[in-house]
Structure 1
Amino acid sequence: MMKFSILIANYNNGKYFKECYDSIMAQEYKNWEAVILDDASTDDSVSTIKKIIGGDRRFRFFENPANSGVGITKSKLIELAEGDVCGFVDPDDAITPTAISSSMANFQKKEVVLTYSIFMSCDENLRPLNPFRTRQVKNNDPFFFNYPIQIAHFVCFSRKIYLQTEKMNTAMRISEDQDLYLKMYEKGKVKFINEVNYLYRLHSGGISQNDNKSRSYEYFAKVIFNAMKRRNLKKINGRNIPDEYTHSKEIYDLLEYQHSIPYRIKKKISIFAQQIFG
């Protein structure tokens, strides 16, 4: 039975961790470990989390000596993991009881390198608000950049295949997840699980929910540009890809055609054919 590594990057979110912990303990799939790396929290997160996990050896707790940022922290977590498949869970969020088992069922197929599902936006008390509607993406498409975003939560990936990529960009403090997803996408098939497997808490302390929206837009453009270069693309829809990155608008303008109705219809047909014929 393959082992699953739940990866948790914590910074000042210990007060929410109990519900995350409870959701891990409730997993239908039993062969898992939880690797927690605290990024030099300034609150009582370390003592709070250690108290909750107690002496359970399935939980492995580590600390960064100094605040390093999410790119470095998440990269370290993957290196620390011992499982065959990894998935990030934020300490202020939670996963549903079948989240891991649903994902692992797909990794029995060797060509699958990444899975994702529907996530539910929740209020500060983790009460459901609205699901993030997503769908299966087209595989093996050099012009797929996850824009607009379809691959979000609960994303799980093969650790063995990840180690064959350029790995996570540790310099990034935002959009490091999108960088990871696109690198994995280039290595095999991704599979959408049509279930709500992740509970995403909205609260005032959420890193991705506050003043980082505009910066995230910029970082994501850089991620897309790097993917274009990694794939040796020269043109997109007849337009030249710049040699150097200058600003986000230039990159997003290249992808504007993907919002057109003819393109979207063609994409739906190709995804339907992909699901029928594999």
Structure 2
Amino acid sequence: MATYNRAHFIVETLLSIQNQVFKDWECIIIDDGGTDNTTEIIKPFLKSDARFRYFNRESTYKKGLPGCRNYGLDLSKGEYVIFFDDDDIIHPQNLSISFSSIESSKADFCHYGKSPFIDTHPELNNQVVSLNKPITINDIQDIVTQKIGFASCTILWKKSCFSGNKFNEELHYAEEWECYIRLITNGFSGIMIDNILYYNRKHPNSNTGEYFNNNPLRKESYTKAILLVIQNLKQRQLLSYYLKRYFISKSIGFKEYNLFMKILKVLDLPIYERLQWQVFSKVLPYRLMIYRNKRLIEKKI
């Protein structure tokens, strides 16, 4: 768990971890240089429960979530790992269900569902394991487009998956999306279950909240992650026409970062195909505008 100035949220998060039905765990908290009273707030947990361990991020790891998570990975002693955020809540059966699912399926990871909340805390009802389907490299298209949502905190991984596959510390948003796609393209496969085992708190100061409020650091990081993912998929010959179209469509929302031209550079396409995508990029905003106006007219009718 990376933490940064979340003294007002972190106690609830730590309590939800402490209340796990599965007891054999360690929680490594990495402070990213916060200036609030987080250290004082978590002292009771550190004193009363040896499973909680607290560290300040070392300077050999870059500031940010990726650096903190990489440091935590290097410190961790277990065979499995989940990355938790410092403002969320986890279901008391999170570890027991995800661990039993990954063990019974002999998979490299277990993916489970999440549900957002703002002020009203979720009801943590007792759950029975509900297996859905395996996840393999054949699902890469749905993972890239986030039809299968690989959020940072919704997967129990075998720690061995991260051997040589750490988080990119240059990224400050979408770092887990880029990293997890890399893991899948490296051949790791898992199981997806239907259970909701994670509850993410919605507030404007989260990384996601800052991204949707057009924080330039988060926005630029997303463009960097997109280019890294494209490069990876291209190298592994997994870049379908559909995915090219998906990324080029995405680039329309990032004109200030010249993302479209950067994507074309990474793709290194033949002249004719390059021209096709340039035409597509020019026409798409008008097609989207016509589509939106059509929908508005239909609603009025």
TM-score by length of 1: 0.74
- SS of 2:50's equivalent in the other structure is coil
Partner of 2:96: 101
Partner of 1:17: 10
- The amino acid across from 2:236 in the alignment is R
- The amino acid across from 1:227 in the alignment is N
After superposition, where does 1:157-236 map in structure 2 within 5 Å?
Answer: 157-163=157-163, 165-186=164-185, 187-210=187-210, 211=213, 212=215, 214-215=219-220, 217-233=222-238, 236=241
Query: Cα gap change, 1:58/1:181 in structure 2, threshold over 3 Å: closer, same or farther?
Result: same
After superposition, where does 1:68-83 map in structure 2 within 5 Å?
Answer: 68-83=63-78
Give, in angstroms, the shift of residue 188 of structure 1: 2.1
C-alpha separation in 1, matches of 2:67 and 2:236: 24
Give, in angstroms, the shift of residue 206 of structure 1: 1.3
Contact 1:114 1:185 in 2 (8 A): no
Contact 1:102 1:193 in 2 (8 A): no
Partner of 2:145: 147
Listed one character per residue, the Cα deviations across residues 205-253 of structure 1 (whole Å, up to 9, x for unaligned) are: 21221234644542441242133144245764597999xx9725848x8
Partner of 1:62: 55
Q: Give the structure with the larger strand fraction.
A: 1
- SS of 1:27's equivalent in the other structure is coil
After superposition, where does 1:118-133 map in structure 2 within 5 Å?
Answer: 118-124=113-119, 126-127=121-122
After superposition, where does 1:232-247 map in structure 2 within 5 Å?
Answer: 232-233=237-238, 236=241, 247=259
Query: Cα gap change, 1:53/1:124 in structure 2, threshold over 3 Å: closer, same or farther?
Result: farther
Give, in angstroms, the shift of residue 109 of structure 1: 4.7
- The amino acid across from 1:36 in the alignment is I
Unaligned 5+ runs, structure 1: 1-7, 129-134, 254-278
TM-score by length of 2: 0.68
After superposition, where does 1:266-277 map in structure 2 within 5 Å?
Answer: none
Measured on the aligned residues, the alpha-carbon RMSD in Å equals 3.4
- SS of 2:137's equivalent in the other structure is coil
Contact 1:218 1:248 in 2 (8 A): no
C-alpha separation in 2, matches of 1:239 and 1:118: 28
Contact 2:172 2:221 in 1 (8 A): no
Q: Give the structure with the larger helix fraction.
A: 2
C-alpha separation in 1, matches of 2:241 and 2:39: 48
C-alpha separation in 1, matches of 2:108 and 2:235: 18
Give, in angstroms, the shift of residue 72 of structure 1: 0.9
C-alpha separation in 2, matches of 1:62 and 1:113: 28
Partner of 2:273: none
- The amino acid across from 2:231 in the alignment is N
Give, in angstroms, the shift of residue 143 of structure 1: 4.7
- In the alignment, structure 1 residue 88 sits paired with structure 2 residue 93: no
Unaligned 5+ runs, structure 2: 124-131, 249-256, 265-276, 278-301
Give, in angstroms, the shift of residue 167 of structure 1: 2.2
Query: Cα gap change, 1:10/1:238 in structure 2, threshold over 3 Å: closer, same or farther?
Result: closer
